[in-house]
Amino acid sequence: MDKGDAEKLNIARKVAGHLAGQVAGLLFPPQCAGCHRAVADPGTLCGQCWSRLRFIERPYCTVMGTPFSHDLGENFLSAEAIADPPPFRRARAAVIHDGVPKRMVVWLKYHDQTNLAPWMARWILRAGSELIADSDVIVPVPLHPFRFWSRRFNQAAELARALARLADKPFEPEALRRVKRTRQQVGLAASERQRNVSGAFRVPPEHEIKISGRNVLLIDDVYTTGATVKAATRALLRAHAASVDVLTFSRVLGETINSE
């Protein structure tokens, strides 16, 4: 194939892609990711849903990422970070887990709306730019094989895959495994959550090379009490990770923890 033919083929492919996109838009018009109202572009929110978002911005605890109501000074730590220091280095989340973000997580997690993952990952990218820059590898919190089989996908892995693509970072979905079949965390108190996930994660020996000596960015959909990501972090540190940071799409505030 000469240069002229290659250029014609490239143009034909672009035209075909454009036409396919137009047909898809007619058959499946874009809907608001928060309420399913019609919107102009896929993955966007309507004005009403956008106005209700609560992004987590500074000031917040430099370790836990817990938002403060007012600025308490540089490097000020929350009571939780002081009383019960986590095994991970830092945690951040994009939005408060209520309203639209909560519905987005439910649609992604339980209703197979994996098309939301790339758009949610964009918010995560914005919230965790510092953590992403310091990371060597991105690892999702895994599902137990039984739950993965019943659900057919891992929502944390979908978010992590999209984030790794946006950030141009290595993505290692097999580096951490859930080896203990646990109860659903929803409705459990903080102490019950900790017992539930204790010893639930392990880095397989054949994958330790992907973790050892590296700064790991651990991805999950929601940070509630932190029991799951703390247990996962400990497994990564046992495999000699240099450090672990945690990045999630949303964060549950204290008053709603037991209902999430």
> Could you read off the pLDDT of 81-129 as tens digits, one per residue?
999 999 999 999 999 999 999 999 999 998 888 989 999 999 999 999 9
- Which residues pair with residue 60 across a beta bridge? 67
> Could you read off the pLDDT of 42-62 as tens digits, one per residue?
667 898 888 888 999 999 999
* pLDDT score, position 25: 43
> Could you read off the pLDDT of 180-202 as tens digits, one per residue?
877 566 666 666 776 767 788 99
60 phi/psi in degrees, rounded to 5: -150, 165
Domain 56-259 listed as CATH 3.40.50.2020: yes
Mean pLDDT of the region 144-149: 82
Using 50, 70 and 90 to split pLDDT, how confident is the model at 258? very low
pTM over the 0.85 mark: no
Q: Where are the domains of the chain?
A: 56-259
